[in-house]
Amino acid sequence: MSKEILAEVKIIAFRDFARETLDDEGKLTTKPGQRMFHFLLGLADGESVSIGQLRGGGHRLSQMYHGLTPRTIGRDLRYLIDIGLIKLVGDKITANVDVMRDFMPSSSGPPLPSLRSPNAS
């Protein structure tokens, strides 16, 4: 399987994981939960945004926070960091798609069974 396909599968899996995590936390059906979910969707493709851009309106994702206070932005970001869905390095916010590694088989683990029947040639 090519690296591009694996990267795409990882992004799709992250989106599903984010939705499920927010739903399990009882957030997905709330206004803040919907805002955080759509924020994560915007970051899932490897995009990053600085806190300054988010607060100042200099990024397309900042539109979700237009008219909301910096306290709301901070609360959303702290929550997403606490549940492991985003990473903050310096001023840059990125989706924590690496969390999906926890669900992938180890390359040093046992080989997966063959799907071919033993009698197939």
49, 92 contact by CB (below 8 A): yes
Task: pLDDT band for 27, please (50, 70, 90 cuts).
Answer: very high
pLDDT of 113 above 60: no
Reduced to 3 DSSP states, what percent helix, strand and coil does the chain have, rounded to the nearest 5?
55, 10, 35
Count of domains for the chain: 1
pLDDT for residue 5: 86
Residue 25, domain member (yes or no): yes
Q: pLDDT tens for residues 51-78? A: 999 999 889 999 999 999 999 999 999 9
Residue 115, domain member (yes or no): no
pTM for this prediction: 0.80
Q: Which domain holds residue 17?
A: 3-101
List Cα–Cα distances, 17 to 12, 42, 77, 88, 100, in angstroms: 9, 15, 17, 19, 8
pLDDT of 35 above 90: yes
CATH code, domain with 76:
1.10.10
Residue 119, domain member (yes or no): no
